[in-house]
């Protein structure tokens, strides 16, 4: 029986989805070493970005995932994810804090217990609690700062999750802010390194506008490789294919809506290059009262595979595709969504083979040491047999 050349085997396996690949580790020691090899993991993820159908994750009381099929992009079927937060004693709610390279960052409702989790490899890592010098005696639960609804005293905790390719390390940024009557009183920024399994304090010389009644949201950018903060004003943002996009939502007063505000118009902007300069270009606006009825924001989620459409989430209640060429909206039939009175947030997700080292245990979710396990033979299959170039 003829054997396929190694480079052909690698090419075939790198085109498969992560879950069957995890099962294929049992085929042979050489396959196990290959699928666990960091070079192959990066190659597989690169091909997944370009060829695989994208996935959507919705966050509500739990997490659910759906794959967008190229031949049926108007129908989504969501199914629940058995994430580690679900097995905490205090669980009824999970917070989605971000995703990168197939790894999602999630926490419990109070953002006290934070996990890194890969749904494809079913591995997890519990993040140690971040130290803090800011008192949390009043109310550390608020997840998003809303300038139209505020208390006399508020704590705001914001997380940012990313991958530092220079150090091959996953990092988590936590920004804790303390407000009194919408005036920023103090801020603390810390950065967690997965490699070092520790937090470090980030010097924050970024100045926020802290006058009561100031308009707009302030978004903070942080370069995890340079430890540098920057700021910019806008609304809901996404980056696809190296293109920086912004959905600007404009609210207007409406006495019949909760909090007295509703969406009046939403503009979709893209950063485009003109020679050596960059400028914002508005691609389309949404102001149809039928489309934005009972909606206070619109979030851009993902481009279609051919780039001809963009998926929009309407205030965690419905999805619509916007077709660039026809300048029309296409409705989406989504199954498995939470009840209408339970809004959700949507995030794109590309599966990967990244392992976080600890298998998720069932049903308790506790991370226990493995006993009496023989050391696996991961003897550098790629290094001895051939070399891959990304």
Q: What is the β-pairing status of strands 75-77 and 333-335? A: parallel
Alpha helices in 228-289 (DSSP H): none
Q: Which helix (H) or strand (E) holds 154?
A: strand 153-164
Structure tokens given for 339: 């009840």
pLDDT tens sequence across 285-305: 998 888 888 788 898 888 887
Q: Which sign does the torsion angle of CA 372, 373, 377, 380 carry?
A: negative
Contact 254, 263 (CB under 8 A): no
Task: State the Cα–Cα distance between residues 17 and 15, nearest whole angstrom.
Answer: 7
Q: What is the mean pLDDT of each run of 10 residues along the chain (390 residues)?
A: 80 91 90 93 89 82 85 86 89 87 90 91 92 58 44 72 89 85 80 93 56 45 53 46 77 62 86 80 89 86 83 89 88 87 85 85 44 42 40
Residue 79 forms beta bridges with which residues? 65
CB atoms within 10 A of CB 303: 19
Contact 206, 231 (CB under 8 A): yes
**pLDDT value of position 276:** 77
**pLDDT value of position 279:** 85
pLDDT tens sequence across 216-263: 444 455 555 555 544 443 444 555 555 678 888 888 766 555 556 788
| Closest alpha carbon to 118 in 160, 55, 27 | 55
Residue with tokens 């308790």: 364
| Closest alpha carbon to 35 in 50, 24, 51 | 24
Structure tokens given for 234: 């806008």
Angle CA 8–10–16, to nearest 5: 110
Residues of 340-374 as b/e, b for ≥16 C-beta within 10 angstroms? eeeebebbbbbbbbbbbebebeeeebeeeeeeeee
């Amino acid at each position: 029986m003829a054997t396929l050349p190694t480079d052909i085997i690698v090419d075939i396996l790198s085109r498969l989805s992560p879950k069957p690949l995890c099962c294929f580790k049992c085929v042979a020691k050489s396959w196990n070493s290959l699928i666990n090899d960091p070079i192959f993991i990066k190659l597989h993820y690169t091909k997944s970005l370009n060829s695989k159908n994208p996935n959507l994750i919705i966050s509500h009381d739990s997490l659910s995932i759906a794959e967008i099929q190229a031949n049926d992009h108007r129908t989504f079927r969501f199914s629940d994810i058995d994430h580690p937060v679900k097995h905490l004693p205090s669980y009824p709610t999970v917070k989605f804090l971000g995703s990168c390279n197939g790894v999602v960052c999630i926490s419990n409702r109070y953002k006290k217990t934070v996990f890194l989790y890969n749904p494809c490899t079913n591995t997890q890592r519990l993040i140690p609690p971040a130290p803090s010098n800011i008192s949390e005696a009043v109310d550390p639960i608020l997840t998003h700062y809303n300038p139209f609804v505020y208390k006399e005293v508020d704590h705001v905790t914001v997380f940012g999750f990313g991958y530092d390719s220079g150090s091959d390390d996953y990092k988590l940024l936590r920004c804790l802010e303390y407000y009194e009557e919408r005036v920023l009183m103090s801020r603390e920024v810390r950065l967690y390194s997965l490699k070092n399994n520790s937090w470090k304090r980030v010097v924050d010389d970024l100045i926020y506008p802290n006058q009561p009644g100031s308009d707009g949201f302030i978004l903070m950018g942080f370069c995890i490789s340079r430890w540098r903060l920057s700021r910019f004003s806008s609304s809901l943002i996404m980056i696809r294919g190296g293109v920086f996009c912004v959905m600007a939502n404009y609210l207007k007063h409406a006495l019949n809506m909760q909090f007295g505000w509703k969406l009046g118009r939403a503009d979709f902007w893209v950063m485009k290059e003109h020679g050596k300069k960059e400028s914002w270009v508005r691609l389309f606006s949404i102001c149809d009262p039928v489309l934005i009825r009972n909606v206070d924001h619109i979030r851009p989620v993902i481009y279609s595979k051919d780039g001809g459409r963009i998926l929009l989430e309407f205030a965690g209640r419905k999805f619509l595709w916007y077709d660039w060429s026809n300048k029309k909206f296409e409705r989406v039939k989504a199954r498995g969504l939470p009840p209408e009175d339970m809004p959700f947030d949507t995030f794109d997700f590309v599966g990967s083979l990244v392992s976080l080292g600890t298998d998720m245990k069932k049903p308790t979710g506790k991370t226990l040491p493995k006993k009496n396990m023989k050391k696996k033979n991961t003897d550098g299959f790629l290094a001895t047999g051939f070399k891959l170039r990304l």
